Amino acid sequence: MYKVAKIQMIKRIFYIFLVCLCMLVTKRLISQTGLGINTVVIDPGHGGKDPGAIGVKKTFEKNVALNVCLKLGTLIKSNFPNVKVIYTRSTDEFIGLAARAKKANSAGADLFISIHANAAGSSSASGFESWVLGLHKSKAALEVAKFENSSILMEDDHEQTYQAFDPNDPDAYIALTMRQSAFLDQSLVFAGLLQEDCTNKLGVKNRGVKQAGFMVLYRATMPAVLIELGFLSNAKEEKMLASKEGQEKMARHIFTAFKNYKQKVDKLDNSIGKGVIENKEEIKEEIQSIKLDSGIVFKVQLATSSTKISTTSSNFKGLIGVEVYISGKFYKYTYGNCEKFTKAKIKLKEVKALGYDTAFITAFNNGERMNLQEAINKTYEK
The pLDDT tens digits for 175-185 are 444 443 457 77
| Helical residues (DSSP H) of 300-371, grouped into ranges | 341-353
In a domain, 168, yes or no: yes
CA distance 171 to 364: 38
Is the same domain home to 63 and 84?
yes
- CATH number for the domain including 255? 3.40.630.40
3-class DSSP assignment, residue 275? coil
In a domain, 274, yes or no: no
369 is in which domain, residue-wise? 2-32+280-379
Q: Which of 113, 84, 116, 118 is nearest to 101 (CA)?
A: 113
Residue 288 makes CB contacts below 8 A (sequence gap 6+) with 320, 321
Tell me if the pTM is above 0.85: no
Is the same domain home to 303 and 327?
yes
Confidence grade of residue 205 (pLDDT, cut at 50, 70, 90)? very high
> What average pLDDT does the structure give for the chain?
76
CA distance 102 to 359: 26
Is the same domain home to 156 and 8?
no
Q: Which amino acid is at 345?
A: K
Quick one: average pLDDT of 193-205? 92
Task: Indicate the number of domains in the chain.
Answer: 2
Write the pLDDT tens digit of every residue in 75-119. 999 999 999 999 999 999 988 877 888 898 888 899 999 999 999
Instruction: Give residue 113's pLDDT.
Output: 96
Is the same domain home to 58 and 148?
yes
Quick one: average pLDDT of 277-306? 60
CA distance 92 to 44: 10
Instruction: Give residue 31's pLDDT.
Output: 34
In a domain, 270, yes or no: no
Is the same domain home to 135 and 216?
yes
Pairing relationship of beta strands 128-133 and 206-212 according to DSSP bridges: parallel
CA distance 52 to 62: 6
Is the same domain home to 209 and 336?
no
Query: Per-residue pLDDT for 121 more than 70?
Result: yes
Where does a domain end: 220, 241, 265? 265
Percent of all residues in the chain with a pLDDT value above 70, rounded to a whole number: 68
In a domain, 275, yes or no: no
Q: In which region does residue 45 sit, left (phi positive, over 0), alpha (psi from -120 to 50) or beta (all else)?
A: beta
Beta strands, E only, the chain: 39-44, 84-87, 111-118, 128-133, 206-212, 224-231, 296-305, 323-327, 330-338, 360-365, 368-370
